């Protein structure tokens, strides 16, 4: 059956398929990157040059063709105060990441390792909440936060992350913890370690990739959550990056260059964090193996 | 023997107590942030609560129960035009779910091959997902401009007509779907994770039996991936039904009412106009609609999901 030429043929076939896949991927990847590049290009041009026809693919203006217009980044509009908005965004996202990750780890540990009555019921409640549209709970939560006097502060955006950090994250961590052999915690238990010790000394060190994944996921969700930020934050000095950008877009006056520069600035923090951790990030999700 | 058994149950009790302590945050979250508000939302839908007075004085005026008035109102009031909103949302959601699941599965299969630069390509495809959706929408708004937009430049060069994209009511939803597909890196990663779990032995056995790539794909990869496909469809459905950022940041529900998504309508009625009762009525109907669509997906799934033996 398997002649040598047949095997070679198969190998060649395989090689051809890989090359084809590679070409298609490069083409699509270029299309994926193009919009991002385009925003960057436009942010370095004069407002009048951005929409000239045919478009220029390099950021060169008609007035001074050789120079990149970095001055767009000293943004003129009073509506977009980048540094203040940036700090505000961090003031929301950092506590969310810390609280959300910590509580998600503790819940995932209990679901993955410990036996207790009502485990199945609680777990299905938890998984079920993934399907529950958050939009339905917005009005009652808004009323509750108003009653507590927390509107126009960051508390309504931060406090929910004290409560498990989201069902999907708990699920992801639980899956990951279940891939760690139980022998380790059994051994530790025999040596007299308590549950907290097992959690801190055995579980947490071995699920580091998954922890990075969920911290990033929480960071992205809180950083980008325009709707809730719009509902709860009213005063301009508390605006976050996305709120600032949306407001800027809402009343910009043909200052296209400034608009694009503001957009690039809004992209950058997430981009930097992603580039630093992206290796762990995708590996982490892939490793959890998303079974079931 | 008896002593040992007693000791074990003591251990079990200890374990149980520890578990509950670990679960306090989840308990609190599930009850206070998720399930109680859900019930409250249903109740508020039957009252005439408004924000104004309440926000200023933080004193809840005794809510007046108005029965089904809010529901009748949202369905009959032409300025709310709820039926249009339902149609727009379902149209967008189905379109977005199907396109992004197909696209991301396709990309994941290609990415799963042994090709150079795989890690970088993976990172590129994931990248749009992490960018702030509001900034993404604003960027696309400029890329899709009728006058001088990059995409129209390509269309013209390829011999097509220019399109109005986000500024015409027939094209706004397809354009938003395109942007959603562009942003669906998270689905790609989940598919990739699933593809790594397709048992190699099956694929190799089939190869030895002479099955070509397409046959292996059709009879091994796809069946093994059906649970992941289902998971992605479900998650994508829940997210797409709640679509709101495009309307909040760029389209404002327009042109006309062609992108008046249900979540945006709820935000508009409940928060902008301060009519919490009607807003809750909208979210109540939304909840039922989402549940029906998810139930349909679950019901059909029984016939096409392939379950491996020995699953827990």
Q: Does residue A208 carry a pLDDT above 70?
A: yes
Structure token pair of residue A127: 């998984």
Give residues with Cβ within 8 angstroms of A237, minimum separation 6.
A84
Query: Do the Cβ atoms of A285 and A260 come closer than 8 Å?
Result: no
d(CA A234, CA A245): 14
Structure-block tokens of residue A227: 């709707």
Residues in chain B within 8 Å Cβ distance of A33: 124, 127
Return the HEC string of chain B: CHHHHHHHHHHHHHHHHHHHHHHHHHHHHHHHHHHHHHHHHHHHCCECCCCHHHHHHCCCCCCCECCCHHHHHHHHCCCCCHHHHHHHHHHHHHHHHHHHHHHHHHHHHHHCCCCCCHHHHHHHHHHHHHCCHHHHHHHHHHHCCCCCCHHHHHHHHCCCCCCCHHHCCCCHHHHHHHHHHHCCHHHHHHHHHHHHCCCHHHHHHHHHCCCCHHHHHHHHHHHHHHHHHHHHHHHHHHHHHCCCHHHHHHHCCCCCCCCCCHHHHHHHHHHHCCCHHHHHHHHHHHHHHHHHHHHHHHHHHHHHCCCCCCCC
- Mean of all residue pLDDT scores within chain A: 78
Higher per-residue pLDDT: A137 or B218:
A137
Assess whether A180 and A59 both reside in one domain: no
Kindly state whether residues A13 and A118 are assigned to the same domain: no
Same domain, yes or no: A269 and A177? yes
Would the CB atoms of A245 and B133 count as touching at under 8 Å?
no
CA distance A289 to B199: 12
Copy the structure tokens of residue A18. 């890989």
pLDDT at B234 over 80: yes
Interface of B with A in 205-234 (CB under 8 A): 213, 227-228, 231, 234
B275 against A285, higher pLDDT: B275
User: With contact defined as beta carbons under 8 Å apart, do A257 and A267 qualify?
Assistant: no
Report residue A103 as tokens.
């509580």
Phi, psi of B47 (to 5 degrees): -120, 175
What part of B 256-285 touches A (C-beta under 8 Å)?
262-263, 266-267, 270-271, 276, 279-280, 283-284
Contacts with B290 (C-beta within 8 Å, 6 or more apart), sequence order:
A131, A133, B237, B238, B241
Q: Does B248 touch chain A (CB under 8 A)?
A: yes
- In terms of domains, do A57 and A152 share one? no
d(CA B71, CA A251) in angstroms, rounded, equals 35
Which chain B residues are Cβ-neighbours of A271 within 8 angstroms?
127, 130-131
d(CA B17, CA B24): 11
Q: Is the pTM of this model over 0.90?
A: no
Confidence at residue B311, expressed as pLDDT on a 0 to 100 scale: 41
Task: For residues A139 and B281, give the distance between their C-alpha atoms in angstroms, rounded to a whole number.
Answer: 10
CB neighbours of A92 closer than 8 A, spacing ≥ 6? Answer: A154, A157, A158, A222, A223, A229, A240
The reported pLDDT for the residue numbered A252 is 65
The token pair that represents A270 in the structure block: 């997430």
Question: Looking at the structure, do residues A44 and A119 belong to the same domain, yes or no?
Answer: no
Q: Is B142–A260 a contact, with Cβ atoms under 8 angstroms apart?
A: yes
Both tokens of A253, joined, read 């006056």
Nearest CA in chain A to B294: A131
Residue A150 is predicted with a pLDDT of 82
Q: Are B73 and B80 in contact (CB under 8 A)?
A: yes
pLDDT tier at B8, thresholds 50, 70, 90 = low
> Topology of B36-304 in CATH?
MetI-like fold (1.10.3720)
Q: What is the DSSP letter of A56?
A: P
Chain B: closest CA distance from residue A146 (Å): 6
B-chain residue closest to A122, CA distance: B27
pLDDT at A200: 82
Do residues A86 and A69 share a domain? no
- Mark which residues 138-157 of B lie under 8 Å from A by CB: 138-140, 142-143, 145, 147-150, 153
Coil, helix or strand for A43? helix
The answer to whether residues A90 and A158 belong to one domain is: yes
Which domain-ending residue is among A16, A46, A73? A73
* Per-domain boundaries in chain B: 36-304
| CB < 8 Å & 24+ apart, contacts of A14-20 | A17/B113, A17/B213, A18/B113, A18/B114, A18/B115
Total domains in the fold of chain A: 2
CA distance B33 to chain A (A): 7
Contact B189 A282 (CB under 8 A): yes
Distance from CA of A286 to the nearest CA of B (A): 4
Of A171 and B11, the one with more pLDDT: A171
Distances (CA, A) of B210 to A2, A14, B61, B204, B205: 10, 14, 75, 10, 9
8 Å CB contact between A50 and A38? no
What is the tens place of the pLDDT at every residue in B45-73? 888 777 766 666 666 667 778 878 788 87
Residue of chain B whose Cα is closest to the Cα of A49 = B148
Q: Are B101 and B229 in contact (CB under 8 A)?
A: yes
Please identify, among A73, A95, A119, the residue that sits at the C-terminal boundary of a domain: A73
CB A226 within 8 A of CB B248: yes
Do A102 and A219 reside in the same domain of the chain?
yes
| Nearest-neighbour CA in chain B from A64: distance (Å) | 20
Q: How far is CA A163 from CA A113, A131, A171, B15, B23, in A?
A: 20, 17, 14, 21, 9
* A195, A134: one domain: yes
Question: Which residues constitute the domain of residue A124?
Answer: 82-288
Collapsed DSSP state (helix, strand, coil) of residue A163: coil
Same domain, A144 and A14: no
Asked which of A73, A105, A129 is the last residue of a domain, the reply is: A73
How high is the pLDDT of residue B307?
67
Q: Which residue has the higher pLDDT, A98 or A62?
A: A98
The alpha carbon of residue B78 is apart from the nearest alpha carbon of chain A, in Å, by 23
Highest mean pLDDT among B65-79, B201-215, B238-252: B238-252
Question: A34-38, A70-74, A135-139, B67-71: lowest mean pLDDT where?
Answer: A70-74
With vertex at residue A162, the alpha carbon angle to CA A157 and CA A165, rounded to the nearest 5 degrees, is: 85
- Number of CB pairs, chain A paired with chain B, less than 8 A apart: 294
pLDDT at residue B92, rounded to an integer: 92
Q: How far B82 CA sits from the closest chain A CA (Å)?
A: 16
Q: Could you tell me if B235 and B293 are in contact, meaning their C-beta atoms sit under 8 angstroms apart?
A: no
More confident residue, B199 or B3: B199
Residue among A114, A151, A279 minimizing CB distance to B55: A151
* Closest residue to B41, CB basis, from A140, A230, A271: A140
Which residue's entry shows tokens 């079920």? Answer: A128
pLDDT at A74: 67
Task: Please tell me whether residues A108 and A253 are part of one structural domain.
Answer: yes
User: What pLDDT sits at residue A76?
Assistant: 59
């Amino acid at each position: 059956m398997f002649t040598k030429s047949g095997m070679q043929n198969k190998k060649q076939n395989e090689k051809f398929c890989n090359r084809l896949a590679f070409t298609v991927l490069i083409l699509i990847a270029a299309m994926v990157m193009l919009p991002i590049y385009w925003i960057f290009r436009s942010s370095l041009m004069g407002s009048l040059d951005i929409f000239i026809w045919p478009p220029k693919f390099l950021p060169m203006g008609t007035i001074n063709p050789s120079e990149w217009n970095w001055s767009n980044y000293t943004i003129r509009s009073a509506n977009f105060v980048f540094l203040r908005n940036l700090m505000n965004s961090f003031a929301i996202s950092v506590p969310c990441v810390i609280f959300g990750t910590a509580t998600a780890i503790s819940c995932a540990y209990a679901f993955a390792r410990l036996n207790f009555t009502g485990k199945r019921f609680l777990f299905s409640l938890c998984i079920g909440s993934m399907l529950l549209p958050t939009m339905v709970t917005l009005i009652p939560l808004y009323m509750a936060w108003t009653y507590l006097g927390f509107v126009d502060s960051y508390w309504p955006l931060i406090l929910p992350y004290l409560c498990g950090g989201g069902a999907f994250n708990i699920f992801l961590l639980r899956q990951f913890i279940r891939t760690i052999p139980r022998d380790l915690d059994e051994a530790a238990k025999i040596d007299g370690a308590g549950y907290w010790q097992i959690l801190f000394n055995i579980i947490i060190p071995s699920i580091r990739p998954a922890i990075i994944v969920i911290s990033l996921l929480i960071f992205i969700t809180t950083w980008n959550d325009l709707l809730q930020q719009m509902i709860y934050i009213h005063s301009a000095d508390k605006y976050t990056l996305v709120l600032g950008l949306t407001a800027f877009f809402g009343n910009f006056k043909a200052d296209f260059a400034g608009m694009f520069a503001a957009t690039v600035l809004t992209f950058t923090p997430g981009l930097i964090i992603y580039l630093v951790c992206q290796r762990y990030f995708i590996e982490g999700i892939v490793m959890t193996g998303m079974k079931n | 023997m008896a002593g040992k058994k007693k000791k074990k149950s003591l251990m079990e009790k200890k374990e149980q107590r520890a578990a509950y302590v670990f679960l306090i945050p989840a308990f609190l979250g599930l009850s206070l942030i998720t399930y109680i508000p859900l019930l409250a939302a249903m109740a508020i839908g039957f009252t005439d609560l408004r924000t104004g007075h309440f926000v200023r004085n933080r004193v809840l005026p005794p809510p007046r129960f108005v029965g089904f008035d809010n529901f009748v109102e949202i369905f009959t009031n032409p300025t709310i035009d709820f039926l249009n909103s339902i149609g727009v949302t379902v149209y967008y959601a189905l379109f977005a779910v199907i396109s992004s699941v197909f696209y991301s599965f396709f990309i994941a299969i290609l990415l799963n091959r042994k090709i150079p630069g795989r890690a970088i390509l993976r990172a590129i495809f994931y990248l749009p997902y992490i960018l702030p959706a509001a900034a993404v929408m604003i960027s696309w708004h400029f890329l899709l401009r009728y006058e001088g937009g990059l995409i129209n430049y390509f269309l013209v060069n390829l011999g097509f007509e220019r399109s109005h994209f986000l500024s015409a009511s027939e094209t706004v939803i397809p354009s938003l779907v395109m942007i959603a597909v562009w942003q669906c890196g998270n689905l790609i990663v989940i598919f990739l994770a699933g593809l790594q779990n397709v048992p190699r032995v099956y694929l190799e056995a089939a190869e030895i039996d002479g099955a070509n790539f397409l046959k292996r794909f059709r009879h091994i990869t796809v069946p093994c991936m059906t649970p992941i496909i289902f998971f992605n469809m479900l998650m994508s459905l829940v997210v797409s039904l709640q679509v709101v950022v495009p309307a909040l940041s760029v389209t404002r529900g327009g042109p006309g009412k062609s992108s008046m998504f249900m979540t945006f309508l709820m935000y508009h009625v409940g928060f902008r106009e301060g009519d919490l009762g009607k807003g809750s009525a909208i979210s109540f109907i939304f909840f039922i609609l989402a549940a029906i669509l998810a139930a349909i997906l679950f019901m059909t799934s029984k016939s096409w999901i392939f379950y491996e033996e020995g699953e827990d």
